[in-house]
Amino acid sequence: MVNWDFVTLVIFFVILLAIYFRYKDKFVTQGIIVMYKTKWGLGLMDRLAKPYPRLLTFISSIGVFIGFLGMGYLLYFLIVATWQLIFIAGTEPVLAPVLPGVQIAGAPHLSFWHWIIAIFIAAGIHEFSHGVIARLHKVPIHSSGFAFFGPLPAAFVEPDEKILSKKSLFQQMAVFAAGPFSNILLGLFLFLVLFFLIAPLSNEIYQESGLVVTQTLEGYPVNLSGLEAPFTIYTVNGIDTLDDASFVNVTQDLQPGDTVTLGTDKGDYTLTLVGNPENSSKAFFGVSGFQQDTSLKEEYSYLHSFTGIFDWIKLLLVWVFLISVGVGLFNLLPLGPVDGGRMFYALMLVITKKESLAKNILLVSSLFCLALILINMLPWLEKLFSWIWSGLLLLIGLF
């Protein structure tokens, strides 16, 4: 089966490489970071910053508070999740590479175009917000543009760092926090759109038609039965389970050792349940990541030609929401050059009054965060390499 996500990804980067070599003199390379500097959006940043200084200052204050609150919560969450990943069997990592073709438990399929559009929207709003708040505090912006951090697309604004470093602690933190806070605000807005507009519309025209399982856990009943994800569950022991509520209702009284038969789109599979690794008294199938499969209600069958467009837009909104929130939260970590690291360093510099000590504290914090990230990403590396290898084999086969 052709892996179109991988093929499209390769074509996209081949085109980018062609553009890079054609206009190489306009790109700036710093290690694995390649930037195309422009003046895009600089005038708009000024026009937004000048008329509303009090409003933007107030929003900046909230952004700084939310930034440090998010930093503390995210660090605590990562520590707890990493501890469980190491010491509790069957625990899933809380971090995953967000790349097209890589299936994340509980998340819908990510196509190449959803990925690239969502990345540019999240990154663009993130960097534009930095620029607006920098101009609010009279920090010049030298340039803006798009960039690539290795293969990953990004955007940037380039404030005058010397002038920024001379601003007050609050003003510096307001500039640093603006990007993550704008991502979180965008995520909140999209959540409201999805919850109050898209979800009711979907419920009106669609009906539940099964539960899609996107991932199975190695060594547990479903995986041992030979049933490979993704698959759709229709029945459990002959009883319809077309939505999550009915599935929970049918399975909640099952015990470890019980034998059940799953009716799926790949046939019937019989398996013996085991104890849940977190609670041995509860039955465990060994699956992760349920998605609701749907079909048009009969009275709306005339909309069949438009469902593809609706579903594509809905999926784009979901991925912009997920990626925007993910970008915002990741940038709040007290980690090296990201926004949270810069906020953390500025705070440590004020507290310690010593630049060398503040840098050492940031170094320790960065190494600790990197260790947490690496531990959570290890289970994904094998899957990622397998996906890349399958794509390479496909390209070799084409030649």
State residue 399's pLDDT score.
62
Q: How far apart are the first and last CA of the chain?
A: 16
Residue pair 174/60 in contact by the 8 Å Cβ criterion: yes
State residue 398's pLDDT score.
62
0.85 exceeded by pTM: no
Residues of the chain falling short of pLDDT 70? 1-3, 101, 383-384, 387-388, 390-391, 394-395, 397-399
Of the candidates 46, 77, 11, 6, the residue with the CA atom closest to the CA atom of residue 332: 77
State residue 395's pLDDT score.
65
Backbone angles phi, psi at 128, to 5 degrees: -60, -40
CATH number belonging to domain 207-305: 2.30.42.10
State residue 115's pLDDT score.
92
Location of each CATH 2.30.42.10 domain in the chain: 207-305
Task: Report d(CA 233, CA 267) in Å as an integer.
Answer: 10
> Which positions ≥6 away from 233 have C-beta within 8 Å?
210, 211, 212, 213, 241, 247, 262, 263, 264
Q: How many CB atoms lie within 10 A of CB 282?
A: 15
Helix, strand, coil in percent for the chain, rounding step 5: 60, 20, 20
Beta-bridge mates of residue 212: 232, 291
Task: Report d(CA 170, CA 168) in Å as an integer.
Answer: 5
State residue 352's pLDDT score.
95
287: helix, strand or coil = strand
